[in-house]
Amino acid sequence: MARLVMKFGGTSVADLDRIRNVAAHVKREVDAGHQVAVVVSAMAGKTNELVALCRGADVLHDAREYDAIVASGEQVTSGLLAIVLQSIGIDARSWQGWQIAIRTDGAHGAARIAEIDGSKLIERLEIGQVAVVAGFQGIAPDNRISTLGRGGSDTSAVALAAAVKADRCDIYTDVDGVYTTDPRIVPKARRLDKVSFEEMLEMASLGSKVLQVRSVELAMVHGVRTFVRSSFEDPAAPRIMPNGDPYGTLICNEDEIVEQQVVTGIAYSKDEAQISLRRVSDKPGVAAAVFGPLAEANINVDMIVQNISSDGAFTDITFTVPMADYEKAVKVVEAGRPGYDFEALESATDVCKVSVIGMGMRSHAGVAAQAFKALAEKGINIRAITTSEIKISVLIDAAYTELAVRTLHSVYELDKS
């Protein structure tokens, strides 16, 4: 007998038929003797609808009321799933974030989980009751509902798994695992049996949409073994891998992965914007004057490139920000102009960040050179570069995204088993 947390995303609970399919998955695990907690998202499209209503009411709406409204989608789904489970003979009860309680900080709309007391749920699980928990939500220090940001149900599930000391957290989605890259761009992309927490964290932060970044961080910190699985498999006869694990991708510690490839996957993100400040006076404190206000405005700066003129008097500073923060970033930079004079501000929104990720890069030389050479041979110009121990990211023109992804996937032989 194991203790499981099962999470189902919006497409998996899009209507009553799919909720019944989810109930069948849950029943399979209960019949196998497992203790089960389920975390659900809102029905597909429902959160977008609720967000639009908030914005329609007032563009500058109160963040606390926003949370009260958008959290209602998960409340509906959790209640419906509990009813369907009861109808097929499963003892189930729905729980909202504040009932558990999932305590968060006070950043309404993008809260972070501070603490979960899993004792109530453990008591229910031990008597055989299935706990159906509304994902994406918690309770802030002001005792009002808070939400965890888009994709927050993944975070809810992993945090709950840690709180109840679950043996496994299964993330059910519309794909059957994590792939070497987007199969829509590279049909030969392979499903990965295992991915390390560190690699998944990079992939999630660099454009892979499979898991929310925060959920991977929590899984890594608390050692929560996490499976990415498909909710559209036959609940009565799910595929099993030769080692007995469910069919999908296991996200785990690096030491569980026997054979580590040099490169594990290629990720890309088109949600990037580039800002360049030309001929900035080169003097101490300029970088702090540029990036300090951006940090205060909660704008995440990623790639930074600085070029100093031959006479040492001026410098060009180029950096990237998320597309959603582009206009805000330009205003912040312009507002700071009295503190650091520059000749011109140039920007581009038709850019894409393509990343090569792999734990094996730590011990292999020449990985970056391979990427740069392959892209050059395809006539793809690199605007900026950033690296870490296990990833290389390049900024390129968005028009070359698919070509770059296919080229890098091929050059590292990721299409070969």
Distance CA 124, CA 275 (A): 53
Residues in binding site for ATP = 7-10, 173-174, 179, 184, 209-210
Residues in binding site for substrate = 47, 74
Is the preceding peptide bond at 101 cis, omega within 30 degrees of 0?
yes
Distance CA 124, CA 101 (A): 14
Closest to 134 (Cα-Cα) out of 156, 150, 113 = 156
Residues in binding site = 7-10, 47, 74, 173-174, 179, 184, 209-210
Which tokens hold the place of 60? 């500058």
Distance CA 377, CA 283 (A): 38
Residue type at 146 in one-letter notation: S
Strands of the sheet with 102-104, listed across from one edge: 113-116, 102-104, 137-139, 145-147
Q: Could you tell me where the beta strands, DSSP code E, fall in 260-403?
A: 265-281, 304-308, 314-322, 344-357, 384-388, 391-397
- Token pair 């011109």 is found at 344
Distance CA 402, CA 214 (A): 27
Distance CA 329, CA 348 (A): 13
Distance CA 197, CA 214 (A): 12
Distance CA 322, CA 260 (A): 31
| Residue partners of 55: CB distance under 8 A and separation at least 6 | 61
Strand, helix or coil for residue 5: strand
Question: Cα 283 to chain center, whole Å?
Answer: 38
Helix residue spans in 88-130 (DSSP H)? 97-100, 119-126
Are the CB atoms for 140 and 200 separated by under 8 Å? no
Distances in Å between the Cα of 290 and the Cα atoms of 216, 285, 286, 322 are 31, 9, 6, 17
Buried b (16+ CB within 10 A) or exposed e, 96-119: bbbebbbbbeeebebbbbeebebe
